[in-house]
Structure 1
Amino acid sequence: MKQREAVIVDAVRTPVGKRGGALSAWHPADLLGHTLRALVDRSGIDAGDVDDVIAGCVLQHEQQSSNIARHAVLSAGFPESVPAVTVDRQCGSGQQAVSFAAQGVMAGSYDLAIAAGVESMSQVPMPAAFRPGADLGPQYGPLELERRPDLMAQGPSSELMNSRFGISREALDAFSARSHERALAATRDGRFADQLVPITRDPHDPDGERIPADEGIREHVDAAKMAGLAPVFAADGRTTAANSSQLSDGAAALLIADREVALERGLRPRARFRAMTVAGADPVIQFTAILESTRKALKVSGLEVEDIDLFEVNEAFAGVPLMFQQEFGVPDDKLNVNGGSVAIGHPLGSTGARMLTDLLHELERSGKRIGLQTICEAHGTANTTIIERI
């Protein structure tokens, strides 16, 4: 059997909307369907040639239940022959969808696949168990509760991380302000323009008001006001609403193909995969698995930290990229160069696909070659992906 290489052919995303904001009227199946349609139209492929659509989604209940990926495929107007599946690796779901698509291509199961992600946190709010101060008991059976009474929601865990790695409130706030500043600069410079799907505020009016940019980015960050916010998860804590990711709506999609098939069909391979790894770590502190998954990815790829041109570390909380930076010695000018989820927003299931879309386009814009992306996930798992621009 000949060796196959998975490549990214194209990648698009919606602007990210604030919860209750610009995208809140969109049913999540239609939001993802609109994004899938845009990807196919832009790439020029026949939708019927897509072997599978793999979509990440975290809150798989209410409007996002019953395999939302399949509903999105039908909403996009793809042929009924195109299958779809929904995956959940918590915040890394969109990134995991990309890995599954690429692995399917490399295995010979697919020639063309779409990896995607979607979340409408307006229409499908986070369950009560994930909110500040919540008891996680209802999620678990009696035996697990008996064995692991220390399990908690991610917010309180962020305070454990802050303490263990010595991350100060001042550092968290400064990083968060920088996220907004960098995302605003990227927006004004048009760095996101080529990846954004044209979309209107009203899903029933294609000629209506367009949503031109990510909605959560602040034009002015008041440092004094930020410093005055009360901690959310502990009275003496450091995590606040301002140095945490935003609850958001959004979708993203990437076209993954076998390199030879892409060339045969007149498609341009834009990046190849150097590593796709997952790891598990402490389910109480929850965020440290990104360190282990990154070490695994560097080992698999044969690369060193110094070989990576750009790092994207999801800003679930500002302490996560700061922990990563501290551990690996990543320079400021390589880390989240166009901002992250603190500023742009974090529609859970789509963030991994959104970040990889951003990373691909930024590698191309800046003429750099190798990018690493990692995402922490609830209860101590993580994904890391390394891509190389072609």
Structure 2
Amino acid sequence: MREAVIVEAVRTPIGKRKGLLQHIRPDDLAAIVLKEVVERANISASLVEDVIMGCVTQSGEQAGDIGRVAALIAGFPDTVPGTTLDRQCGSGQQAIHFAAQAILSGDMDIVIAAGIENMSRVPMGSNYQEAAVSEKLKSQYEVIHQGLSAERITEKWELTREELDQFSFESHMKAIQAQQQGRFEREIVPVEVTLPDGSTTTLREDEGPRSDTSLEVLNSLRPSFDKNGSIHAGNSSQISDGAGAVLIMSKEKAEELGLKPRFTIKTRVVVGSDPTLMLTAPIPATAKVLEKSGLSIDDIDVFEVNEAFSCVPLAWLKETGADRSKLNPNGGAIALGHPLGASGVRLMITMMHELERTNGRFGLQTMCEGHGMANATIIERIN
């Protein structure tokens, strides 16, 4: 039986909104991780059989099949194809699934799964501003903003404003601790940035984590979507910029090239859920991926559940009964940021490195997606 294995993975630092990465085009930013991931593996880019790149807002500088364009900018031979996909916030994770599936089917042996989003340069929603929501869709479902979906989840799972803010504070504190201990250094490629005045600087770490935040600050923020609600900027994910890439091979090809695989992509699922409540699909996705893999929730050593809003992982914890200490141990999107199309890859890369750091065996990643969907992936560390 064929196996899809992860040989190498790398990401950029995650830039905050209008931070340093606003000065780099998204296709140029994506090219950095594509070039770096093959260099780290010490293989020729000519061996790559496809580049599959997640990107949500495919307009402006992110239009025109950025997966193919970024590969060309990276200096890959023109024989290497590339494609771009949109499964909303799970686009990067779906790229990993499609790459693994291409390998498991026998169609390919070496694929790069990647993700990109520069939200400072290509604003969220700019690819569909002119398109009104279908009347046929509205006749079947209540179409509301994700922030209002988060408010409904908060109410349904009886989460308090204090719980939401406490989770958000902990996300920042965990991310700050991880930075101070150098946990992210191996997974990040520093990015040199040319500023408008012509000078250059290098971004080496994520810009989002705030050491100066506090529960008092979070408690003082006004609700963003419902004046009587609990969801605000401090307990929501950040608008961010970033890119990442994962080099996936068949186990046989890796061995043929003399490479040491780091992880097996054990199980992959994707599910749909209520498109109005929208953000709850990680719960059934987790149940399905565990059942398919023959594992229990207690077998998992690290969970990465995307922090779109703090209510999402908190509701997930209530439903799954997972050990909270294993969840997002280095912080999540509330602190690190959420560059839409790249987040699925970022979560995977951070989970890989945490499993290696702690000698864990299994990691489970899942994330909510627009219109009510979620991917879930289980990886297994190779000794």
TM-score, with structure 2 as normaliser: 0.97
Instruction: Kindly indicate whether the alpha-carbon contact (under 8 Å) linking 1:368 and 1:389 is maintained by their aligned counterparts in 2.
Output: yes
Q: What is the percent sequence identity of the aligned residues? A: 47
Say if 2:139 is the partner of 1:152.
Answer: no
**Structure 1 residue 160: Cα displacement:** 0.5
Instruction: Kindly indicate whether the alpha-carbon contact (under 8 Å) linking 2:59 and 2:127 is maintained by their aligned counterparts in 1.
Output: no
After the TM superposition, which segments of 4 or more aligned residues of structure 1 sit over 4 Å from their partners? 203-207
Instruction: Kindly indicate whether the alpha-carbon contact (under 8 Å) linking 1:273 and 1:387 is maintained by their aligned counterparts in 2.
Output: yes
What is residue 269 of structure 1 aligned with on the other side? 261
**Structure 1 residue 264: Cα displacement:** 1.0
Instruction: Kindly indicate whether the alpha-carbon contact (under 8 Å) linking 1:200 and 1:207 is maintained by their aligned counterparts in 2.
Output: no
Gapped regions of structure 1 (runs ≥ 5):
131-135
Give 1:251-270 correspondences, 5 Å limit. Answer: 251-270=243-262
Instruction: Kindly indicate whether the alpha-carbon contact (under 8 Å) linking 2:53 and 2:114 is maintained by their aligned counterparts in 1.
Output: yes
Instruction: Kindly indicate whether the alpha-carbon contact (under 8 Å) linking 2:366 and 2:375 is maintained by their aligned counterparts in 1.
Output: yes
Give 1:61-140 correspondences, 5 Å limit. Answer: 61-127=59-125, 138-140=131-133
Instruction: Kindly indicate whether the alpha-carbon contact (under 8 Å) linking 1:199 and 1:210 is maintained by their aligned counterparts in 2.
Output: yes
**Structure 1 residue 53: Cα displacement:** 0.3
Instruction: Kindly indicate whether the alpha-carbon contact (under 8 Å) linking 2:189 and 2:204 is maintained by their aligned counterparts in 1.
Output: no
C-alpha spacing 1:21/1:96, structure 2 compared with 1 (3 Å): same
**Which of residues 178, 188, 191 in structure 2 aligns to 1:186?**
178
TM-score, with structure 1 as normaliser: 0.95
Say if 2:21 is the partner of 1:29.
Answer: no
In the alignment, the residues of structure 2 paired with residue 28 and residue 43 of structure 1 have an alpha-carbon distance, to the nearest angstrom, of 23
Deviations 1:270-318 (A, max 9, x none): 0002210000111111011111111110011000001111110000001
The one-letter amino acid of 2:270's match is V
In the alignment, the residues of structure 2 paired with residue 363 and residue 266 of structure 1 have an alpha-carbon distance, to the nearest angstrom, of 23
Instruction: Kindly indicate whether the alpha-carbon contact (under 8 Å) linking 2:58 and 2:127 is maintained by their aligned counterparts in 1.
Output: no
C-alpha spacing 1:190/1:205, structure 2 compared with 1 (3 Å): farther
What is residue 169 of structure 2 aligned with on the other side? 177
In the alignment, the residues of structure 2 paired with residue 137 and residue 235 of structure 1 have an alpha-carbon distance, to the nearest angstrom, of 28
The one-letter amino acid of 2:7's match is V
**Structure 1 residue 203: Cα displacement:** 8.0
**Which of residues 258, 268, 283 in structure 2 aligns to 1:291?**
283
What is residue 230 of structure 1 aligned with on the other side? 222
The one-letter amino acid of 1:41's match is E
What is residue 233 of structure 2 aligned with on the other side? 241
C-alpha spacing 1:331/1:137, structure 2 compared with 1 (3 Å): farther
Per mean C-alpha deviation after superposition, the further-off stretch among 121-130 and 284-293 is: 121-130
**Structure 1 residue 206: Cα displacement:** 12
In the alignment, the residues of structure 2 paired with residue 169 and residue 336 of structure 1 have an alpha-carbon distance, to the nearest angstrom, of 20
Instruction: Kindly indicate whether the alpha-carbon contact (under 8 Å) linking 1:137 and 1:145 is maintained by their aligned counterparts in 2.
Output: no
Instruction: Kindly indicate whether the alpha-carbon contact (under 8 Å) linking 1:200 and 1:206 is maintained by their aligned counterparts in 2.
Output: no
In the alignment, the residues of structure 1 paired with residue 33 and residue 123 of structure 2 have an alpha-carbon distance, to the nearest angstrom, of 21
Per mean C-alpha deviation after superposition, the further-off stretch among 119-128 and 76-85 is: 119-128
The one-letter amino acid of 1:380's match is G
Instruction: Kindly indicate whether the alpha-carbon contact (under 8 Å) linking 2:254 and 2:261 is maintained by their aligned counterparts in 1.
Output: yes
The one-letter amino acid of 1:236's match is N
**Structure 1 residue 267: Cα displacement:** 1.1
Instruction: Kindly indicate whether the alpha-carbon contact (under 8 Å) linking 1:50 and 1:112 is maintained by their aligned counterparts in 2.
Output: yes
Gapped regions of structure 2 (runs ≥ 5):
none
In the alignment, the residues of structure 2 paired with residue 337 and residue 206 of structure 1 have an alpha-carbon distance, to the nearest angstrom, of 38
**Which of residues 129, 136, 151 in structure 2 aligns to 1:143?**
136
In the alignment, the residues of structure 2 paired with residue 84 and residue 203 of structure 1 have an alpha-carbon distance, to the nearest angstrom, of 30
**1:32 is paired with a residue of what secondary structure?**
helix
Q: Over aligned residues, Cα RMSD in angstroms?
A: 1.8
What is residue 17 of structure 2 aligned with on the other side? 19
